[in-house]
Structure formats: C-alpha cells, structure tokens
Amino acid sequence: MPPDLHSKLPDAGISIFAHMTALANRHGAINLAQGFPDFAPPEQLFAYLDEGVRSGYNQYAAMPGLPQLRTALARRLRDRYDYEADPDSTITVTAGATQSIYTAISAFVRPGDKVLIFEPAYDSYGPAVRINGGQALYLRLELPDFSIPWDALEQLLSKETVRMVLVNNPHNPAGSILCADDLLRIGELTRRHNSLLLWDEVYDLLVFDGKRHRSALEFPILRDRSIVVFSIGKTLHNTGWKIGYAVAPEALTNELRKVHQFLVFSVNTPAQYAVARFLDSHPGFTDELHQFYQTRRDLFWDLLRGHPDFEFLPCRGSYFALARFRASATTGDLAYAEHLVATLGVAAIPISAFYHDAHDPGLLRFCFAKKEETLREAARLLWLGKA
C-alpha cells in the first residue's frame, strides 16, 4: 500500500509562472508572463563571477553571507534609505528573496499563528504560512488603485491576534506603491496590536515618474518590528542567480538566522563574490534602473495604446503592467490567458492566480522587463489578434 502522503499543501499545483512559461515554450510564444528580463546582466558581472571561481571562492560562504557582500549591501542601505545596517548582525544573504520570506515566516510563525496577507499576493506567501502551520488571513486590496482597505484592516487587527503582517511594496502584480503616510499608518496599527511586519521590497529600485520608494527601513516606528526583504535578481538582471537578503534588527536577525542555518546554511559563494565586486565597482548602476524600466513600460503602453481589448491600469513600480481585458471577459482570466498564448503567441499571467480563492477581477499581467524588439513583437501580435 502506498504511504499516506498527509500532504501539507494538498491544493498546490505548479505555479502559474511555471504553467504559463511551459505554455509559452510549447507554442513558441513570447513570454511576458514570468517576471524575468530577456536581456543579459551587465558583462562585468560575468568577469567577477569568473574571478571569484578562479581566486578560490568555491567553498561554503559564511552562514549569514559573504562579509564583503554584506558590507556592500549595508552601504547601499545607508545611501538609499539613510539606514545604518550593521552587516554582522542585521543583514542575512539568502537564496533569493523567496528564501528570505520563507525563512522569516518559518522563524516567527508558530502553528496556529495568524498571518495577514493582502491580495492580490505573490504566490509563495500563503503556502509558506501553511507549511509552517500558520493560518493566512486574506484582505483584498481595493481596486482600481489596489489601496489598503484601512477600516477592514483595523477591524481585523482588533478582532484577531495577528502574529505577522506581510506587505509587498512596490507591489507585484498591481504595480502600486505605498506612500510615507501608508507606512506610518501600518506602523501605528501593528504597534498597537504588537504584530511583526514582513516587508517584501524586491522592486525597491523600480519606482517611476519621479517618485521614490519609501522603505520600512526609513521609519523608526517600523524598524524594531520589521524584517525587510530585497532581491539582487531584480537589481542586476540575474534572477537565476537567486541572491536575496533580509534586513532586520539584531534580535529578529538572530532568530531568522537560526532557521537559515538549517534550511540552506549558506548561499552560492562565487555568485555572492561577483555581486559584491559589482556593487563596489559600479555604485551608480542601480541609480539608473528606474529610468531604464520606465522607458520599457512607456514603450509597451504606447505600442498598445488604443487597443480595443486592453485597457492599462497605472503602474507606479515593479516591472509589470496590468491590463483590464475586454475581449472574452466571460471566459475567465486563466482561460483567456491560455487562449492568448495558444492563438496569438503572447503569454501573460491571469491575476486570479494571486488570490487564494481565485477571485478574478478581469486583469492580465504583462512583464515589460524585455528587450525593445520583444515588446514590439508582442504588441504586433496582440494587435493582429484584436477582437
């Protein structure tokens, strides 16, 4: 008799990103679904990776991350957010932001603890909570701006004991950003109810139209109860290197590292070396990222302006453009996305995948972290197929 699996995630299938990417590959379609650049990382990064491998960076790195990388990251946090991070006690390098998020949840969420997740939400949050025995409480962000439902949040925090609140800013897939007042209000509410805060700020450098990202690290009211997560993959166009990091006060970092130590112990050494060398030698690289991506966003919007089937929503941050689709609205977003990839050769992500109950507001997500010619070809195909 086969063993009883007692699955911890009985309802989980493959991720929507993997599903749409597989369909894109099968149909030879343009993949604007999964969030990754189709252009190369900066050339110098390769040279540093080679240098790392050849100069002996091939064994385990220190558990919290290569010291020179943590130092480079601390400098970045000081320059950007005026935040003094002690590289020894407050920064932990992880295998992508995904591992930081999982590790933070695993370190602080005990069986039965409640974790508040705003939806739409990145796909790893809910499962990470459930695997660790926690209970996810979901609150829907309010369209059209994906704003926080403050009254509902306040009621929920007064009614339930919420161990952790998870906030994604800038937001995937909404493309929305939070302002200083939002952060302060979250700080007030969570302090009153003594909840921890887990901030997913992987798109911190991708904020457009002259605005700047407001990190939780900038606000003293938030710092002592916050773990803030970043991703190098979004910064240096190398998502496959899977380097991320978590920043938290020493007491929280100590707990986070206890789990990190037994989950992965340490992260790819030569990749950490290369990233540190790159950040040290190209301090201005990240300053231009927002402009680099804003140009792509604007191009994609321009190419599809006036398309009868898609109406784009604002995108203030991240590398995703959301479109309300008019055609085939009755089929549901997943079926519509599958139809687009099979018939027009363009893959996008249906937004219902970001809701635990498959709520479908009739939106598709397009990733514009692509070469200009990729965006032009995708737009051409989408125009060809207009209803």
What is the H or E stretch that residue 350 is in? strand 349-350
172 counts as binding ligand PMP under rule CB under 6 A:
yes
Cα 13 from Cα 320, distance rounded (Å)? 23
We find the least distance from the C-beta atom of residue 281 to ligand GLN, in angstroms, to be 28
Per rule CB under 6 A, is residue 245 in the interface with ligand PMP? Answer: no
C-beta separation of 341 from 23 below 8 A: yes
CB of 211 to ligand GLN, least distance (A): 21
Nearest distance from C-beta of residue 230 to ligand PMP, angstroms:
8
Of the candidate residues 239, 272, 352, 374, the single one contacting ligand PMP (CB under 6 A)? 239
**Residue whose CB is less far from ligand PMP, 94 or 294:** 94
15 makes contact, choosing from ligand GLN, ligand PMP, none, with CB < 5 to 8 Å by partner type, with: ligand GLN
| Residues contacting ligand PMP: total by CB under 6 A | 13
Interface positions, 13-32, toward ligand GLN (CB under 6 A): 15, 17
The minimum distance between CB 206 and ligand PMP, in angstroms, equals: 10
- Smallest gap, in angstroms, from Cβ of residue 202 to ligand PMP? 5
H helices of the chain, in order, are: 16-27, 43-54, 67-81, 96-108, 125-131, 150-159, 180-193, 220-223, 250-263, 269-281, 289-304, 333-343, 372-384
The helix (run of H) or strand (run of E) holding residue 320 is: strand 320-325
Residue 172 in contact with ligand GLN, rule: CB under 6 A: yes
Distance between CA atoms of residues 239 and 110, nearest Å = 30
Q: Which CB atom, from 62 or from 313, has the smaller least distance to ligand GLN?
A: 313
Alpha carbon of 283 to those of 277, 318, 358: distances in Å?
Answer: 10, 21, 42
- To ligand GLN, the closest distance from the beta carbon of 239 in angstroms equals 7
Q: One-letter amino acid identity for 65?
A: G
Q: By CB under 6 A, is residue 202 in contact with ligand PMP?
A: yes
Contact flag: residue 226 with ligand GLN (CB under 6 A): no
Q: Which residue is nearest to ligand PMP (CB)?
A: 96
**Residues present in the chain in total:** 387
With beta carbons less than 8 A apart as the criterion, state whether 64 and 257 touch: yes
Cβ atoms of residues 91 and 248 within 8 Å = no
The Cα–Cα gap between 256 and 111 comes to 17
Q: Which of these segments, 93-101, 103-111, 288-296, 365-373, binds ligand PMP (CB under 6 A)?
A: 93-101
Give CA–CA dist 234/240, Å, rounded: 10
Judged by beta carbon, residue 168 or residue 253, the one nearer ligand GLN is: 168
Alpha carbons 282 and 275: distance in angstroms, whole number: 10
Size of the site for ligand GLN (CB under 6 A): 5
Q: 101 or 346, CB closer to ligand PMP?
A: 101
* 156 touches 192 (CB < 8 A): no
| Minimum distance from residue 122 beta carbon to ligand PMP (Å) | 4
Q: What is the binding site for ligand PMP (CB under 6 A)?
A: 35, 96-98, 122, 168, 172, 200, 202, 231, 233, 239, 244
- Which residues of the chain form contacts with ligand GLN (CB under 6 A)? 15, 17, 34-35, 172
